Chains A and B, each alone.
Chain A
């Protein structure tokens, strides 16, 4: 688009100005011969109205709360209420994590985010051989609904929203949450929260898969349809670019691979006979806030526009809510340095600000010590305060999409939108995200970007303050938070006790009906709920499903 009245004269003025600048920089060159952002998009010296390339303002950008939601999903955004401040936490035992959650709620946090340990995420009980050394390390260990009761002790589930980072066994953890709510007397239609439930990025980037794609997609669509009927406020999936980015992708790849996964979930649900507007409004997203500030803000804006396009045009959604990208953001863990860890406070603040200017619905800010260990209570508090500073002191929350209309911001938004779309077209040609992952295409693209990024750091083409420039001699901080190794033993003992005390006949029965359902085509959720109610363990349920569905084998993508 060009300025109707001033376009011609601006064009002339710009030409003249550029010639003058070219003369000047012959004597005094710029810092670099070429400026390119992390996605490989060239960044020009200056942007003017002549750069704006959208075809129509209302159909490509529009107003906040209106299609295609480039400027935000709500008309008032943070003038109505701030984003949800939601710190991902959990370690050791359910009792220990419960204490941390209540600390965070006391500190003004407004939502919970549960981190599970790796055995839980991969469907092993704490006494399994593969769980040795891992119990309680990166999150809380949950073996049965007994642990879940302790985890949410004195936290009324009708008053918090809870996000659970759980994927392959998401149906089981959701069932446990529902059973705890029943025990608290909370009607389940009142439950608010999210399960991550995004298996495709586990295959490509995060690694906590269990079953192969086909049965995994079935479980996911079972959850979509169960929640649409029973837990209407629940976000049934959090389609995640976060881990794709952490694994090394560029911003454009993060957008493209996440939305390609989103397309695969929608298609699977449609193929299972669901109506797009029955589950579309409960799809949620999760993105990374990385270092390149303006690129990140543009990324969030481009994501909203592209997904709205996909849902409206490709999948013919009618409900505007099906077209809206509501997303959680976490600042980029991979950008934290072990060197001069206090610098991380500042990195996180910039990244958090990008997320807010990008219109996030909820936010996790990393703690400064996370390149060293689990975050200490003090570090978590500073991280949460960073969000509160942005909200209450900076003023950026008082108008919607304040960077919208910047010539550079709009140009970059358009550029990311187009480049991500081209990637999605390519993935479509391969047969979709599942096929692209099975061929190793997405993994290779990500690892190539990661390698390039590392080489840039080592060649000092990319400066990391405190790491490859401005280094100082320093003592590493002591007093790191450690998980007591006795957690494993205690979990194993409680499991033994549970198996001795529960009604084992009931467990057997619930597992055998679940088995029949899994072999057939019924929705698995009601059967998983019954198994959980009977105090069957996570490992027992997952083992049974492993027997029927098999296990996913990773594709090798290193070398030629």
Chain B
């Protein structure tokens, strides 16, 4: 039997925020857990992120924002994915995101938000649960 296909993840930093400690730690943990991770680097516009997700044929987009711009940038990514009729990519987010903002982000299609204190183990488990074939 062929080896099970590895889960491919795009780790992305939308907007101008330069805090990349979290995204790099999560990316390293996902790699150690056997996933393939492509990291966009800083300062990506929503359309750059969607382009990269298509190019790299990923299963998951994991975005991190600590600047407070999540309320604009996360839904923007979801709009662009919808415009291209892409519905099978799991999109998750993390960073400094107030609890009261989470319902609106989920309504826009973000599957889950992981705030400060989340373990990388929780994120790995969540992705596996959602994407296990």
Contacts and interface: CB of A to CB of B under 8 A. Distances in A.
Nearest to B70: A133
Interface string B28-42: 110100000101011
Contact of B25 (A133, A450, A467, A480): A450
Tell which of B16, B31, B116 has the most Cβ of chain A within 10 Å.
B16
Contacts of A392: none
B58 interface: no
A43 B48 CA distance: 48
Interface string A237-279: 0000000001110000000000000000000000000000000
5 contacts: A118-B15, A334-B21, A372-B96, A451-B24, A558-B28
A559 B21 CA distance: 15
Contacts of A337: 116-117
Interface of B: 15-21, 24-25, 27-29, 31, 37, 39, 41-43, 45, 67-69, 71-73, 76, 96, 98-100, 115-117, 119-121
Contacts of A450: 21, 24-25
Interface string A528-560: 000000000000000000000000001010110
A451 B25 contact: yes
Nearest to B25: A454
Interface in A470-512: 476, 478, 480, 483, 485
A373 B96 contact: yes
A276 to B, nearest CB: 31
Given A119-B16, A447-B28, A558 B121 contact: no
A137 interface: yes
Given A133-B15, A558-B28, 5 more contacts: A137-B68, A138-B17, A447-B24, A447-B28, A458-B120
A45 to B, nearest CB: 33
B28 A133 contact: no
Interface stretch (A4-12, A202-210, A401-409, A427-435): A202-210
Contacts of B121: 458
Given A207-B18, A374-B68, A476-B99, A556 B39 contact: yes
A556 B41 contact: yes
A118 B67 contact: yes
Contacts of A451: 24-25, 28-29
Nearest to B115: A338
A199 to B, nearest CB: 12
A339 interface: yes
B16 A130 contact: yes
Interface string A39-81: 0000000000000000000000000000000000000000000
A354 interface: no
B34 to A, nearest CB: 14
A457 B100 CA distance: 27
Main secondary structure of the interface of A (DSSP, over half): loop
B18 A208 contact: yes
Given A451-B25, A558-B27, A138 B68 contact: yes
Nearest to B99: A476
Nearest to A374: B68
Interface string A152-174: 00000000000000000000000
Contact of B67 (A130, A132, A134, A480): A134
Given A246-B21, A372-B98, A558-B24, A130 B43 contact: yes
Contacts of A246: 21
B42 A133 contact: no
Nearest to A448: B28
A137 B69 contact: yes
Contacts of A310: none
Contact of A137 (B41, B42, B67): B67
B39 to A, nearest CB: 5
Contact of B69 (A134, A247, A338, A476): A134
Tell which of A208, A372, A454 has the most Cβ of chain B within 10 Å.
A454
Nearest to A372: B98
A122 B16 contact: yes
A312 interface: no
Interface in A427-469: 447, 450-451, 454, 457-458, 467
A186 interface: no
A339 B29 CA distance: 23
A371 interface: yes
